[in-house]
Amino acid sequence: MTEKPDTPKADQPDIFETRESEVRGYSRSWPATFARAEGAKQWDEDGREYIDFFSGAGALNYGHNNPVVMEPLIDYLQSGAVLHSLDMKTPAKREFLETFEQLILEPRGLDYTVMFPGPTGTNTVEAALKLARKVTGRQHILSFTNAFHGMTLGSLSVTGNSMKRQGAGIPLTNSSKIPYDDYFDGETPDFLWLEKVLEDSGSGVDKPAAIIVETVQGEGGVRAARAEWLRSLSELCKAHEILLIVDDVQAGCGRTGTFFSFEHAGIEPDIVCLSKSISGSGLPMALTLFRPELDVWSPGEHNGTFRGNNPAFVTATAALKTFWADNSFQNELADTIANLHQRLHVIAAKADGATVRGRGLLAGLKFDDPEIAGKIAAEAFAQGLLIETSGPRDEVVKIMPPLTISAKDLESGLEVLEAAVLKFASAPELAAV
């Protein structure tokens, strides 16, 4: 914390601006150069401290540089063990698979085959879509309004955001959108249209291979589906032999309070996508989980050079053993979640046109005026809090601290957030005081 790395001289051009593509995003909203990180905090090269309510978009559920993953990682790196192995067997991979089976699958009564699809979220979504099509022999996939599933063409075809979709440059085909929970503000019964068209042989709607869903839409506005809506979706899929894919890339790994985000609904998806926090450290890693009967792949039919990221297996194993061996972490997490939501409701009550969204530590404050969330996020950054916006018009402030955040750091961040909210969206009666 005392050492300060060399900073570029003031007269030097900023290499990020002169050399890096216009496509860069976060470095524009947060124009700091982040040099150090620990737990729920980061420091820029000038030593300025930030509280992190962003958590690497959900890739850092256990905080930055958590010693429980860093120590085994450093030991592994110094041991002469294999770093890169495609999908060959290694002890690190064996230990991960054994730990995942014992601590995650077996206690939840889940029998999923584990596929390593390449290390990113979009890789696991592509694998899931491909497998669903191969298993069913059908081409069409249904996904939801405001969904986000990644940037490669298959994942983009099931994503909602029109700006991102246009980036494809070609037609995004073989998929359609259906309304997410509460899309019509509770005015229409859930799945009214879908149930009807699936039963009507004259509807002209091809039976889909799969429906892909996020239980909480992280990028699409921090909307949380109700448990009963998820159960109806699951029943509908079963009744029509449509595979249900839960994209748990962002909402999984404890983010909503349980390891998988669908546990509270009591559903068992056919296919589950995990990435972001599965490595526990921020190292790239992804899994595609599916019912064993769906394992119709031929050897090597789907591959990828970076499926065997052994340092990620090491940190993933350490994170599972530390946080998911018993219920103690989950119980503490429940307290953090209750605390956050109670505080967010207090903040929303003081603000003009604000509502609380989301579930667990994937929470949001939605503002009726879509300009406000961006102003709040910019003010929060100026006051040392990293917080991003979400939703088609960036109308939601997205609150996503590490699951391991201390009550003290959570409160410090919330104080900055509250002050920023009141600066731009103070309720009229309060502003008059």
Binding site for ligand PLP (CB under 6 A): 57, 120-122, 125, 148-150, 214, 218-219, 247, 249-250, 275
Token pair belonging to 90: 């290694």
Query: CA distances (Å), 145 to each of 175, 378, 392, 398, 431, in order?
Result: 12, 27, 10, 19, 36
CA distance 402 to 418: 19
Closer residue to ligand PLP, CB minimum distance, 215 or 317: 215
Residue 193: partners with Cβ closer than 8 Å, 6 or more residues away: 178, 179
| Least distance CB 172 / ligand PLP (angstroms) | 15
| Least distance CB 250 / ligand PLP (angstroms) | 3
- Put residue 209 in one of left, alpha, beta given phi > 0 → left and psi -120 to 50 → alpha: alpha
| Least distance CB 153 / ligand PLP (angstroms) | 13
Closer residue to ligand PLP, CB minimum distance, 213 or 344: 213
CA distance 181 to 172: 24
Closer residue to ligand PLP, CB minimum distance, 42 or 275: 275
| Least distance CB 381 / ligand PLP (angstroms) | 21
Closer residue to ligand PLP, CB minimum distance, 41 or 149: 149
| Least distance CB 406 / ligand PLP (angstroms) | 25
CA distance 156 to 146: 12
Closer residue to ligand PLP, CB minimum distance, 181 or 214: 214
Which three-class secondary structure string do you get for 301-348?
CCCCCCCCEHHHHHHHHHHHHHHCCCCHHHHHHHHHHHHHHHHHHHHH
| Least distance CB 210 / ligand PLP (angstroms) | 15
Closer residue to ligand PLP, CB minimum distance, 214 or 268: 214
The number of C-alpha atoms within 13 Å of 420 and in the hemisphere containing its C-beta is 24
Which residue is at the shortest CB distance from ligand PLP?
A: 121
Which three-class secondary structure string do you get for 10-27?
CCCCCHHHHCCCCCCCHH
Closer residue to ligand PLP, CB minimum distance, 127 or 243: 127
> Where would I find the H helices in 30-120?
55-58, 67-78, 91-99
Closer residue to ligand PLP, CB minimum distance, 249 or 425: 249
CA angle 208, 212, 213 (to 5 degrees): 140
| Least distance CB 217 / ligand PLP (angstroms) | 8
> Where would I find the H helices in 325-425?
328-350, 372-382, 407-425
Q: What share of the chain is helix, strand, coil (3-state, %, to 5)?
A: 40, 15, 45
| Least distance CB 123 / ligand PLP (angstroms) | 7
